[in-house]
């Protein structure tokens, strides 16, 4: 199996969740072994997608370098991960990735418009050899050996519209589009008001977020899935795990995980050399053949 990029450049204009200002985003192909690279065109700064470039995980995953940063990257990265794209340049003229509708389905559509291009070098993956876990006051995130790609998440809230939800997701691109990609981010009205008082969340609305008050869900159209909340947590986790730079063959398990715990998990994994192996995925790699989308693949370059 070969590394991938997109077949042509595509672009869109959207609004950033926290600053509420328009953001122009362009996706451009890159050659093999380039990785995912963000470029702040207004600053003239490239920020490679690397764990060491993560500068904040408080409310979203934020990367930065040389005085420039890019926030709320996890939804876009989740879709990039789902389509098996290894090399891509993401050009932004502001500090946030557009929030779109609060899910990743819009980014999936953009990637399908661009098409997928196979490159000249072999794709690599991280195989989990032993359990790696980060725990914090009863919350945890863990990677464990598995011959499949599994994301298994549980959340627990006191709010009557959420309560305890669990979802076990066996990854493939098609499953992702059907089960995960449409799940939106969510927030509580009191928190939204607090954020706006701090000058954040200015781009949030019922069009890009599930909003809850004390009684229930305020969005008139309700939920897209009955357990949309936990499915969105899986969407986020996939985006955060993409900072490892290659897909994981193994299981991701979490109870009440967060961007912060995910970041610590990726760091701990790479610091524990016995816990993983990096393998090349030849054309006979059955798990990858049935996992990543193989439509719209152009000729190799």
State the catalytic residues: 259
Burial of 299 (0-12, 13-18, 19+ CB in 10 A): exposed
- Provide the pairing of β-strand 88-92 with 36-40: parallel
- Provide the pairing of β-strand 88-92 with 22-29: antiparallel
What are the tokens at 142? 């863990």
How far, in Å, CA of 66 to CA of 13, rounded? 25
Are the C-beta atoms of residues 16 and 200 closer than 8 Å to each other? no
SS3 211: strand
Are the C-beta atoms of residues 23 and 15 closer than 8 Å to each other? yes
Those residues whose C-beta lies under 8 Å from the C-beta of residue 105, and which sit 6 or more positions away, are 177, 181, 182
Are the C-beta atoms of residues 266 and 221 closer than 8 Å to each other? no
C-alpha pair distances (Å), 290 with each of 26, 124, 233, 273: 29, 16, 24, 28
Q: Which string of DSSP letters, residue by residue, matches 96-159?
A: B---TTSSSHHHHHHHHHH-EEEEEEE-EEEEE-S-EEEEETTEEEEEE--SSEEEEEEEE-SS
Are the C-beta atoms of residues 128 and 251 closer than 8 Å to each other? yes
How many residues comprise the chain? 301
């Amino acid at each position: 199996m070969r590394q991938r990029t997109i077949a042509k450049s595509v672009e869109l204009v959207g609004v950033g969740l926290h600053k509420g200002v328009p953001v122009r985003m362009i996706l451009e192909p890159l050659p093999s072994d380039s990785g995912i690279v963000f470029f702040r065109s207004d600053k003239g700064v490239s920020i490679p997608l690397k764990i060491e470039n993560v500068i904040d995980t408080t409310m979203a995953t934020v990367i930065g370098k040389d005085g420039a940063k890019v926030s709320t990257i996890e939804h876009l990265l989740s879709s990039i991960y789902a389509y098996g794209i290894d090399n891509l340049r993401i050009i932004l003229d502001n500090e946030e990735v557009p929030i779109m509708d609060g899910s990743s389905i819009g980014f999936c559509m953009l990637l399908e418009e661009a098409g997928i291009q196979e490159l000249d070098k072999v794709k690599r993956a991280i195989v989990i050899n032993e359990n790696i876990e980060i725990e914090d006051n009863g919350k945890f995130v863990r990677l464990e050996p598995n011959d499949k790609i599994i994301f298994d998440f549980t959340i627990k809230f006191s709010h009557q519209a959420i309560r305890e939800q669990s979802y076990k997701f066996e990854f493939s691109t098609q499953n992702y589009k059907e089960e995960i990609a449409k799940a939106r981010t969510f927030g509580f009205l009191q928190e939204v008001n607090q954020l706006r008082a701090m000058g954040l969340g200015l781009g949030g609305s019922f069009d890009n977020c599930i909003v809850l008050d004390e009684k229930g869900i305020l969005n008139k159209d309700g939920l897209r899935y009955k357990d949309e909340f936990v499915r969105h947590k899986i969407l986020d986790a996939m985006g955060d795990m993409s900072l490892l730079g290659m897909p994981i063959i193994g299981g991701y398990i979490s109870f009440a995980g967060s961007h912060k715990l995910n970041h610590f998990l990726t760091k701990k994994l790479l610091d524990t050399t016995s816990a993983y192996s990096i393998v090349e995925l030849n054309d006979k790699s059955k798990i990858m053949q049935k996992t990543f989308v193989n439509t719209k693949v152009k000729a190799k370059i």
